[in-house]
Amino acid sequence: MNKKIILWLIHLPVWMVAFSIAYFFGTERFPGSTVSDYVLATFSYLVWLLGSFYMFYFFLVPVYLEKGKTILFGIYSGLFVLTVPVLLFSLACISRPTPDSFPESFKNLWFLMWLFLGVLTLFCGILGSFYKFGIDWFDNLHLKKELLQSELAMLKSKLNPHFLFNTLNNIDSLIQSAPEKASNAIAQLSDLLRYVVYETENEKIGIQKELEIIKKYMDLELLRISNPEAVSFENLITKDALIPPMLFMPFIENAFKHSNLNHPNQRIAVCFLEDNKEVVFHCVNTIGAQTNDSKENGIGLALVRKRLDLTYPDKYSLDIKQHNNEYIVLLKINISDDSLRYHRRRTFGRR
């Protein structure tokens, strides 16, 4: 739905409540009042209620409160709340033909009426302030998501080009020696590219599909490795949780980039498991020769943190550390029950 339409719908309840209150007070039967008096009174009350709301919404909150000028905000807000009832009384006197047209209760309880109007003005101002902060929060969240989507699109467009080139070269070398293996690798690469191009357009996707793609990515990486037993992948998740696509891929890519698996004593161990309502991702890789793409890796990991902050605020923990010559990632995500659906157990085991 269009953002402007959403904002209009958010303000619609305010207008409906304001009109109801204005109509209730504006049509109060005073002696000698005419239809035009009722219309003028209703319109005046409506202007008062909406004016108080939007005075805070458009002026006092953005000009003073959001800029840290709390003292000025308090002073001007107090003056506004105190003076508006006086203006309403003056307008009421002008709109009535004679003083006798006011009932005795109105004359004797003017202070309580003034207090009531002041409290209602203050309520409108507080409501306008909350609306302003709420819509600003919505706008900031919307902008963050747009920025995140653009960054994700940029990351996808640069998804490990060396991996693609190396994979194509490896497949080319297999066509003559192992055509069946080459055909299987082409199918895996096709599934991976299709996932990156199409499936990642969704906000969330089933984790089992994500893990299938990760497994295919790792299988393609194994084509260039002389000792594939150095790489292990284990899926112990029995439920299909909905997660943002390509959430774990930067960690897997970094593991292969920083490990020299053709040398001895090098390994990559990837494990996914579930612990009650948590999805747990554990990745360990040895550190080989230093690469020159650490800046790109840093961008990828920073993007992962942004996505986690937006999707799972206060519901995840990410621990990344280096111990001796191993790089260890432990990610735990608390996923609510409504995003879990049971799935047949699928364990790929060790390679």
Residue-wise pLDDT tens digits, 171-191: 888 888 888 888 999 999 899
pLDDT tens digits for 188-218?
A: 989 988 888 787 778 788 999 999 999 999 9
- Which three-class secondary structure state does DSSP give residue 248? coil
Task: Quote the pLDDT of residue 90.
Answer: 65
Min mean pLDDT across 88-92, 106-110, 177-181 is at: 106-110
Is pLDDT above 80 for 284? yes
The residue whose two tokens read 């109007």 is 117
Which span out of 109-123, 161-175, 235-249, 289-303 was modeled with the highest average pLDDT? 235-249
Homologous superfamily in CATH for domain 158-339: Histidine kinase-like ATPase, C-terminal domain (3.30.565.10)
Structure token digits, residue 12: 């619609």
278-286 and 268-275 strand pairing:
antiparallel
Q: Place 86 in a pLDDT band, splitting at 50, 70 and 90.
A: confident
Q: Are 26 and 45 in contact (CB under 8 A)?
A: yes
3-state helix, strand, coil in the chain (%, to 5): 65, 15, 20
Task: Quote the pLDDT of residue 351.
Answer: 40
DSSP 102: S
Long-range contacts of 26-31 (CB under 8 A, 24+ apart): 30/96, 30/101, 30/102, 30/103, 31/100, 31/101, 31/103
pLDDT tens digits for 253-282?
A: 889 888 888 888 889 999 999 888 889 999
Element (H, E) at 304: helix 294-311
Task: Quote the pLDDT of residue 105.
Answer: 52
- The mean pLDDT of 292-314, rounded to a whole number, is 71
Query: Would you say the C-alpha torsion 214, 216, 219, 224 has a positive or negative sign?
Result: negative
Task: Quote the pLDDT of residue 282.
Answer: 96
Domain borders along the chain are 3-150, 158-339
Is pLDDT above 80 for 292? no
Q: CA-to-CA distance for 293 and 287, rounded, in angstroms? A: 14
pTM (predicted TM-score)? 0.57
Is pLDDT above 50 for 342? no
Q: Place 235 in a pLDDT band, splitting at 50, 70 and 90.
A: very high
Long-range contacts of 225-230 (CB under 8 A, 24+ apart): 225/261, 225/262, 226/261, 226/262, 227/261, 227/262, 228/351, 229/350, 229/351, 230/261, 230/266, 230/267, 230/268
- At residue 50, what is the residue type? L
Is pLDDT above 60 for 326? yes
Is pLDDT above 50 for 347? no
Is pLDDT above 60 for 19? yes
Q: How many CB atoms lie within 10 A of CB 210?
A: 25
Kindly compute the dihedral angle of the four CA atoms of residues 190, 191, 195, 196, in this order, to the nearest 10 degrees: -40
Closest CA to 124 of 85, 163, 95: 85
Task: Quote the pLDDT of residue 139.
Answer: 73
Q: Which residue has the higher pLDDT, 312 or 280?
A: 280
Min mean pLDDT across 50-59, 79-88, 331-340 is at: 331-340
* 304 φ/ψ angles, rounded to the nearest 5 degrees: -60, -45
Q: CA-to-CA distance for 305 and 309, rounded, in angstroms? A: 6
What's the mean pLDDT when you consider all of the chain? Answer: 78
Q: How many CB atoms lie within 10 A of CB 342?
A: 8
- The mean pLDDT of 280-309, rounded to a whole number, is 74
Q: CA-to-CA distance for 104 and 56, rounded, in angstroms? A: 34
Q: Are 259 and 286 in contact (CB under 8 A)?
A: yes
Q: CA-to-CA distance for 228 and 223, rounded, in angstroms? A: 8
Q: How many percent of the chain have pLDDT more than 90?
A: 17
Bridge partners (DSSP) listed for residue 318? 331
Bridge partners (DSSP) listed for residue 113? none
Bridge partners (DSSP) listed for residue 322? 327
Min mean pLDDT across 129-133, 148-152, 239-243, 301-305 is at: 148-152
278-286 and 205-206 strand pairing:
unpaired
Task: Quote the pLDDT of residue 103.
Answer: 54
